[in-house]
């Protein structure tokens, strides 16, 4: 699997291009802006852009979709369809059981790469983390050294709890590619992310504190 | 990207080393792997998709080399020359850098988180979108560098210079700083 970054000057958003090898079908995550550099990146590796994945609804992460539809006509995957003015394959009905509201595992094969969607509300109600092999594309939910901004305390608590239960339980070596800023890993965030450390309700921290106490005695 | 296969040894979650089924620590032929890695560094212009966690390197010359999509976590680098190196999407977390030279290097989308960096210079470098969170820096020279969107959160920084740097969107929150020089830099544009 190859991962290429593109930095969009509009919204300062990271766009990721993922393909198995040069010339294969490719996936694009969060096209904030389509410019010459991004087209050159796709074309220089002879990728066939078949899929676009959106992490959430914000314009800085999805503004380039309409241009891509004109050039490559890819399938667009996002959590909710109602918020976009272009055709989207929505996951909301597939990720939750309508009767029990229980979250369902949602995986699909995207050009030979297994993609798993993890719903992580907080920054946005439709925030999704895309997991491919050992790489996580977190959008604005988890960034290097901090968590994404939230509109209020309730959403912040929801986001921290979602990160702790759904992401921090993954392998420590997993690579995190956020929507803004530098990449990171799950272990680095466990150790150095103060937003996660400060949250008393964090089950991972509680477990860690328990281990520390046992070690001390 | 490097291979995401984990070590064959039970309960070991480290990534495999080069083409071995084991990580470097559990490999039965460590010296052979190290020799292969040294050969790669000496002969190849581009070090791409390489995984070599827990390795120990001394006195090597990475100058003007391209290092991309590689994994060197938990490694030790002593007296290494990275002068004018071009590093992209590579992972150097929890490493030990002692007396290394990154002068005029171009490093982007790379992770140095949790590393101990001593007597090392990044003078006149492009250090955009890098992760230095949780580093322990001592006598490090970042002067005349572009540190746009680079994070140093939770780092311990001592006797270090950020003179004449672009610090736009650089994150210095929760850092412990002693004798750190930000002269001629736009520290007001940082997150701290």
Please list the ranges in chain A whose pLDDT falls under 50.
217
C-alpha torsion angle, residues A197, A201, A205, A210 (rounded to 10): 140
Beta carbons of A181 and B151 less than 8 Å apart: yes
On whether any CB of chain B is under 8 Å from the CB of A133, the answer is yes
pLDDT value for B20: 86
ipTM over 0.85: yes
pLDDT in tens, B14-30: 888 888 888 888 888 88
Best residue of A16, A19, A171, A181 to probe chain B, by most B CBs closer than 10 Å: A181
Residues A1 and A22: beta-carbon distance below 8 Å: no
- pLDDT exceeds 70 at position B83: yes
B93, B110 Cβ separation under 8 angstroms: no
Of residues A173, A184, A191, nearest to B15 (C-beta): A173
Q: Which residues contact A112 (CB under 8 A, 6 or more apart)?
A: A20, A24, A25
Distances in whole angstroms, Cα of residue B5 to Cα of each of A52, A55, B12, B40: 26, 26, 11, 21
**pLDDT (tens digit per residue) in B121-153:** 999 999 999 999 999 999 999 999 999 999 999
User: What's the whole-number mean pLDDT along residues B93-97?
Assistant: 95
Count of CB pairs separated by less than 8 Å, A with B: 99
Separation in Å, CA A9 to CA A26, A88, A180, B84, B180:
22, 25, 11, 26, 31
State the DSSP code for B131. B
A93: its two tokens: 């009905």
- B22/A contact by beta carbon, under 8 A: no
B178 pLDDT tier (thresholds 50, 70, 90):
very high
Residue with more model confidence, B183 or A98: B183
Cβ atoms of B149 and B167 within 8 Å: the answer is no
Residues A202, A210 contacting (CB under 8 angstroms): no
Cα–Cα distances in angstroms (integers) from residue A46 to residues A28, A115, B49, in the given order: 14, 22, 19
Per the model's pLDDT, the better-predicted residue between A100 and B76 turns out to be: B76
Confidence of residue B117 (pLDDT cuts 50, 70, 90): very high
Place of tokens 């520390």: A212
Q: Which of A85, A154, A150, A91 is nearest to A124 (CA)?
A: A150
What pLDDT is recorded for position A106?
A: 80
Specify whether the CB–CB gap between A8 and A2 falls below 8 A. no
CB contact under 8 A, B169 and A146: no
DSSP B17: P
The pLDDT of residue A211: 63
What pLDDT is recorded for position B176? Answer: 94
Strand extents, DSSP E, chain A = 2-8, 13-19, 25-29, 48-53, 75-78, 89-90, 106-110, 113-119, 128-132, 135-139, 142-143, 146-147, 175-178, 184-185
């Amino acid at each position: 699997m190859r991962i290429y970054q593109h930095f969009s000057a509009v919204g300062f958003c990271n766009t990721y291009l993922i393909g198995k090898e040069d010339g294969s079908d490719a996936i694009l995550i969060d096209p904030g802006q389509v410019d010459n550099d991004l087209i050159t990146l796709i074309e220089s590796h002879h990728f066939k852009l078949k899929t676009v994945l959106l992490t959430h609804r914000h314009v800085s992460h999805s503004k380039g979709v309409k241009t891509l539809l004109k050039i490559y006509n890819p399938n667009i995957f996002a959590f909710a369809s109602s918020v976009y003015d272009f055709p989207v394959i929505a996951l909301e009905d597939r990720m939750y059981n309508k009767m029990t509201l229980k979250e369902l595992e949602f995986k699909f094969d995207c050009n030979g790469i297994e993609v798993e969607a993890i719903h992580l509300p907080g920054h946005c109600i439709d925030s999704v983390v895309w997991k491919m092999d050992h790489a996580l594309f977190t959008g604005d939910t988890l960034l290097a050294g901090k968590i994404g901004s939230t509109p209020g305390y309730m959403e912040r608590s929801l986001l921290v709890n979602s990160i702790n239960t759904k992401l921090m339980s993954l392998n420590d070596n997993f690579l995190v590619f956020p929507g803004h800023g530098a990449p990171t890993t799950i272990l680095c965030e466990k150790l150095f992310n103060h937003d996660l450390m400060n949250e008393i309700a964090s089950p991972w921290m509680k477990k860690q504190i328990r281990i520390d106490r046992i070690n001390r005695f | 990207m490097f291979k995401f296969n984990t070590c064959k040894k039970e309960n070991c979650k480290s990534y495999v080393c080069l083409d071995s089924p084991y990580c470097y620590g559990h490999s039965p032929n460590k010296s052979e792997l190290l020799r292969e890695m040294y050969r790669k560094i000496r002969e190849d212009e581009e070090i791409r998709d390489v995984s070599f966690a827990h390795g120990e390197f001394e006195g090597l010359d990475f100058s003007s080399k391209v290092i991309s999509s590689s994994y060197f976590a938990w490694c030790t680098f002593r007296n290494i020359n990275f002068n004018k190196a071009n590093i992209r999407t590579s992972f150097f977390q929890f490493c030990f850098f002692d007396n290394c030279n990154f002068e005029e290097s171009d490093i982007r989308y790379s992770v140095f988180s949790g590393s101990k960096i001593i007597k090392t210079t990044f003078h006149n470098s492009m250090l955009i979108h890098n992760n230095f969170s949780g580093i322990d820096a001592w006598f490090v020279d970042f002067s005349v560098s572009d540190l746009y969107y680079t994070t140093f959160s939770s780092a311990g920084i001592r006797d270090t210079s950020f003179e004449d740097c672009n610090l736009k969107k650089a994150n210095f929150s929760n850092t412990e700083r002693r004798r750190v020089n930000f002269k001629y830099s736009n520290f007001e544009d940082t997150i701290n």
